[in-house]
Structure 1
Amino acid sequence: MRVLVVQNYDNTGLGQVGAALREAGAEIDLRNAHHGDAMPQDASGHDAIVVLGGGQNALADDKYPYIPALLDLIRDFEAKDRSILGICLGSQLMARAFGGENLIGTSPEFGWRRISLTEKAQADPVLGALPKDFSSFQWHDDTFTLPEGAVHLAANEATQNQAFRVGRAAYGFQFHFEADQPLVRYWNASFPDLLRERQPGWLDRHEEEAAAHGAEADAAGLSIARAWVATI
């Protein structure tokens, strides 16, 4: 099992997705697209693709000129019925790739927040084993409309489109289910100035929030990660 991982921003990390891939014995082919790593021409050399998050938005082609080719690559993986996972920015790029509209700056969320599954998610192979309502970590400003034909899987009060599926196994997640407590602490250490500016008081209250929500979010996130890996 060979999985292409596209990193769009420094210090994002695979978190629980990486743990699930390692459990499955996957070979991880990491490409730092934002630093100019060459991208495959098509999906033929990989069994799945993971597109991670980032601080840029999904329409930032001028500063990140690899984005249009990445959209083509996402479409090729789906056309070849190979598993796709887009997280945060990755989900926004997936929405764009399949015809959704990106809505910039319209849906800010940060911290552990509640997620609710739709009725269709209860029969979904990746989400069906989860409770209908659970916590997960959020860090985003943007959202998107669902592509035509996509299956709506999750929502919350702040962001209607939290998860969707295209075809058999192309999954977009706006929420950071991969971000377990160690990864959130790593982000705190990696982006302290940004967090102090954008999320005042977060670094002081983080441990209390983690104690209240982290274990539930970690359990849900690992379940999602393992179930997605099983689609490959």
Structure 2
Amino acid sequence: MKILAINSSAHMTYAEAGTIARVAEEKGAVLDWWNRGSGPLPEAEGYAALILFGGEMSVHDPVYRDYFDAVAALVHAFHEANRPVLGSCLGAQILAHAFGSKVYQGPVEYGFARLTLTEDGKEDALLSGLNNELDLFEMHGDTFDLPQDAVLLARGAAVPHQIFRMGNATYGFQCHFEVTPDIVEEWSSRHSGTGDRITPLVARDRPKVREDLRTLQDSQVSFAETVMTRWLELAAL
């Protein structure tokens, strides 16, 4: 099974795909890694599914409008062919944009957030049977309105739109459930000197994030393995 994996970040490497890439490879899938700036976006034809990873950009930044519109068109090509799509953080925001919703600056989240499954989430193909409350890693400063016809699967206290589904197999996750402690250390170091909205939280909360990773990472990995296994099963149908 060949999966197109889009990296919009100027910094992110394949190693930062974390548990998402590990589980996909363990299940026999091949991620075809495409970086922004690598040339024209690939066509959907020939791929079983699409993964959109995170990044430091903002969907609402006019500098990147043409790029995000092009990715949105690709999302629709997969979605309309009923080929599964998964968006993580910026990827979820791209999905919201693709389906006509506004993406905008919101509360900054850095660290683990408690998410609560909705009634729809409890019955969802990826999330059913999991804990109704989930502690998952977040690192973002933008949020989005829920697209029309989207099904909200999990909400958070600070950022309500956390996990949603469009149709049967297109999923947006505002959280970064794929991270490992090494990935979080790398991202935290990058943000330490940027002066962006996340920088003060990194300076203040980095010790707590390290401690939370020691106590919460095992359950996050279990969540990621379950979700990715079930999502890959959709891609194999």
TM-superposed CA distance for 1:94, in Å, is 0.3
Report if the CA contact (8 A) 1:74-1:97 is conserved: yes
Answering whether residue 108 of structure 2 is matched by residue 98 of structure 1, we say no
1:211 pairs with one of 210, 214, 232: 214
> 1 CA distance for matches of 2:90 and 2:209?
23
The corresponding residue for 1:181 is: 181
Please identify, of 217-226 and 161-170, the stretch whose mean Cα deviation from structure 2 is larger. Answer: 217-226
Q: Distance in 2 between matches of 1:196 and 1:164?
A: 28
Cα pair 1:196 1:203 within 8 Å, conserved: no
Is the contact between residue 4 and residue 49 of structure 2 (CA under 8 Å) also seen in structure 1?
A: yes
Superposition deviation, residue 189 in structure 1: 4.6
Q: Which amino acid aligns with 1:178?
A: E
Q: Give the 3-state SS of the residue equivalent to 2:158 in structure 1.
A: coil
Equivalent runs, 1:156-175 vs 2, <5 Å:
156-175=156-175
The Cα of 1:180 is off from its aligned counterpart by 2.9
Q: Aligned residue for 1:128?
A: 128
Q: Show the counterpart of 2:66.
A: 65
Shift of 1:61: 4.3
Tell me the TM-score normalized by structure 2. 0.89
**Corresponding residue pairs, total:** 229
CA distance in 1, matches of 2:199, 2:156: 26
Amino acid at match of 2:53: L
- Post-superposition offset of 1:146: 1.1
Q: Which amino acid aligns with 2:46?
A: G
Amino acid at match of 2:24: L
Separation in structure 2 between the aligned mates of residue 166 and residue 211 of structure 1, nearest angstrom: 34
Letter in 1 for 2:21: G
Q: Which residue of 2 aligns with 1:16?
A: 19
Within 2, Cα distance between the matches of 1:26 and 1:112?
29
Identity %: 29
Hey, what's the Cα distance between the residues in 1 that align with 2:59 and 2:119? Answer: 28
Which letter maps to 1:75?
H
User: What is residue 39 of structure 2 aligned with on the other side?
Assistant: 37
Map of 1:202 onto structure 2: 205
User: How many angstroms apart in 1 are the aligned matches of 2:56 and 2:102?
Assistant: 18
**What's the C-alpha RMSD, in Å, of the aligned pairs?**
1.8
Aligned to 2:88: 87
Shift in Å at residue 59 of structure 1? 2.1
Q: Once the 2 structures are TM-superposed, how far is the Cα of residue 38 of structure 1 from its aligned partner?
A: 2.5
Greater CA deviation, 209-218 or 82-91?
209-218
Uncovered stretches (5+) of structure 2, i.e. residues with no partner: none
- Between structures 1 and 2, the one with greater helix share: 2
Contact 2:12 2:55 in 1 (8 A): no
User: 5+ unaligned residues in a row in structure 1: which ranges?
Assistant: none
Which amino acid counterpart does residue 212 of structure 2 have in structure 1? E
Q: Deviations over 1:3-26 (max 9, x none)?
A: 000001122621111011101111
* TM-score normalised by the chain length of structure 1: 0.91
Distance 1:14 1:207 in 2: 19
Structure 2 residue identity aligned to 1:5 = A
